[in-house]
Amino acid sequence: MIIKTRFAPSPTGNLHIGSIRTALYSWLFAKNNLGSFILRIEDTDIKRYKENSIENIINGLKWLNIDWDEGPYFQSKRIDRYNHIINNMIKKKLAYKCYCSKEELEKNKIEQTLIGKKIKYNGKCRNLTNFFNKDNKSFVVRFRNPDHGIVKFKDKIRGTIIFNNNELDDLIIKRTDGIPTYNFCVVVDDWDMGITHVIRGEEHINNTPRQINIIKAIGARIPIYAHVSMIVNKSGEKISKRFNNIDILQYKKSGYLPEALLNYIVRLGWSYGNQEIFSLNDMKKLFNLNNISKSPSILNVNKLNWLNKYYLSKLPKQYMINYLTNFFKKKNININNGPKINDLYNIFHNRCNTLKEINNLCYIFYNTPNYSKVNLINKYLNLETKEILNKLLNKFTLINIWSLLIINTSIKEISIELNLNFSEIAMPLRLAITGMVNSPPIAYIIYLMGQKKVLKYINNAIKFILINNKHY
């Protein structure tokens, strides 16, 4: 049997971590078994369509290097195929037209609620005779779900799952506007496309018995199911399209690498011993459906940062140099006004969590710090620290040969002179030079920044303190 899996997103919003995980698991399972993976856009629910979401899905997958062997298929282009099957089902009485009005259905719901019954279509149109007056009435098509017996399937992650047929509704498979619905299209597509394994989120477990009943009715093959548990944030809130949804491309903008994100996502619910680092090749080689956890997975940004830092430090030097060169070009920054790219690479490449952090740090060499934008600035730039800055300014002015050693010695001498420890000196200095509370070793920054800018920025900081502390 050739393994075939699919990723079948609806274009109703952005791709988030949960949907990517479904795509990744489906893709890896196919790759691990030398099978194929298809992309299918489930776009029949026009009302919920969100503009740009198809581009967003495709760009997200491409960025992460998740490629597909077939597709993208679009359900909206297959309406004739679905209707053909629905018409046959009506002929064979596997489905029927339902003419009930919204009001009738609503009334039915209220009645059932009042007597404490489970809300379910009451079956009024199941056996309409030819004498029923259908003049111009709009209708939906409902699937004739078996009214007794059970539906049983073996989920690869959760084991055997059983539903009673009498709990299942006669599902609407075609709406009044003539468009077939998700639960029906998915069955026809998986059949036509030869899908062997359906890997998807646990929110679809309740759909599965309905889909299996339709599969049986039309004589299709039942695929193997694997329902992956949900992802929650630190406070236990669910991550889904509607809640806590972070667009996957947002991670790109924030400077995460696709390798790191995939490594992070694959471990959200899947494990292979204690291994934490998985290259794409490792994943393809090792992934299977046996080690997927049944419990929810918890998002952990620290772990993502840790992985991203790891992958950043492994990138070839030339890659990072090109990256930085492009970044400066995009920002219209003339590199000749600052340190050599090679020096920037040396200081930052294994110190930062994200590319964005690297960008921000590199930026300080080309941008005058704006102290008024810094939180708690008065804690570091005040009349007391002004004395420290004055001393530093004098000392730095006198340096003839600007070297890392001399800069370090100068800071140390002042700390002895003022009887302060290094960090008490470094903090105001760091703020004055970078406008940031955190940075790589300040002496090195000062060295790379160059004497002229350093003197200017310390002066600026002193002026800032004076203006800020003027009392009228």
Q: Which residues bind Zn ion (CB under 5 A)?
A: 98, 100, 124-125
Q: Which of 438, 435, 439, 433 is nearest to 396 (CA)?
A: 433
Residue type, 434: T
- If binding means CB under 6 A, how many residues of this protein chain bind ligand GLU? 8
What is the x/- site pattern for ligand GLU, positions 192-211, by CB under 6 A? ------x-x---x-------
Rounded to whole angstroms, the Cα distance separating 363 from 357 reads 10
User: CB under 5 to 8 A by kind: which of ligand GLU, Zn ion, none does 125 bind?
Assistant: Zn ion
Q: Contact with ligand GLU (CB under 6 A): which of 38, 186, 393, 433?
A: 186
Q: Can you tell me the distance from the alpha carbon of 159 to that of 150, in angstroms, rounded to the nearest whole number? A: 16
Q: Which does 84 bind (CB under 5 to 8 A by kind): Zn ion, ligand GLU, none?
A: none
Closest residue by Cα to residue 171 from 140, 201, 129, 134: 140
Q: Which residues of 319-349 are buried (b: 16+ CB within 10 A; e: fewer)?
A: ebeebbeebbeeeebebeebbebeebbebbb
**x/- string (CB under 6 A) for ligand GLU, residues 122-161?**
----------------------------------------
Angle 298-300-304 from CA coordinates, rounded to 5°: 130
Q: Residue 88: which of 222, 214, 223, 221 has the closest Cα?
A: 214
Tell me how far apart the alpha carbons of residues 359 and 323 are, in angstroms, rounded to a whole number: 10
If the CB atoms of residues 187 and 407 are measured against ligand GLU, the closer one turns out to be: 187
Q: How far is the CB of 124 from Zn ion (least distance, A)?
A: 5
Helices 422-434 + 404-417 axis angle, to 10: 120
In Å, how far are 95, 109, 172, 334, 377 from 121, measured between CA atoms? Answer: 14, 8, 10, 69, 65
Long-range contacts for 304-307 (Cβ within 8 Å, ≥24 apart)? 304/256, 304/260, 304/261, 304/264, 305/353, 305/354, 306/353, 307/260, 307/263, 307/264, 307/276, 307/277
Count of alpha carbons within 13 Å of 230, Cβ hemisphere only? 14
SS3 470: coil
| Nearest-angstrom CA–CA distance, 239 and 301 | 14
**Closer residue to Zn ion, CB minimum distance, 134 or 221:** 134
| Binding range to ligand GLU, per CB under 6 A, among 2-10, 97-105, 251-259, 399-407 | 2-10
Question: Which lies closer to Zn ion via its Cβ, residue 58 or residue 125?
Answer: 125
CB of 98 vs Zn ion, minimal distance in Å: 3
Residue 10 touches ligand GLU, criterion: CB under 6 A: yes
Q: Measured from the CB atom, is 166 or 206 closer to ligand GLU? A: 206
Of 18, 30, 42, 86, the residue at the interface with ligand GLU (CB under 6 A) is: 42
- In the list Zn ion, ligand GLU, none, the entry touching 42 (Cβ below 5 to 8 angstroms by class) is ligand GLU
Please say which residue, 23 or 411, places its beta carbon nearer to ligand GLU.
23
**Closest CB to ligand GLU among 143 and 447?**
143
**Closest distance to ligand GLU from the beta carbon of 208 (Å):** 9
Judged by CB under 6 A, the residue of 4, 5, 9, 36 near ligand GLU is 9
User: How many CA atoms does the CB half-sphere of 275 hold within 13 Å?
Assistant: 14
Residue 112 or 409 with smaller CB distance to Zn ion: 112
Which of Zn ion, ligand GLU, none does residue 8 bind to, with CB < 5 to 8 Å depending on kind? ligand GLU
Residue 172 or 312 having the CB closest to Zn ion:
172
Q: Identify which range of 7-15, 224-232, 288-296, 442-450 contacts ligand GLU by CB under 6 A.
A: 7-15
Q: Which residues fall within 8 angstroms of residue 80, CB to CB, at 6 or more apart?
A: none
Which residue's CB is nearer to ligand GLU, number 79 or number 321?
79
Closest CB 433 distance from ligand GLU, rounded Å:
50
What are phi and psi for residue 104, nearest 5 degrees?
-60, -45
Q: Which residues bind ligand GLU (CB under 6 A)?
A: 8-10, 42, 186, 198, 200, 204
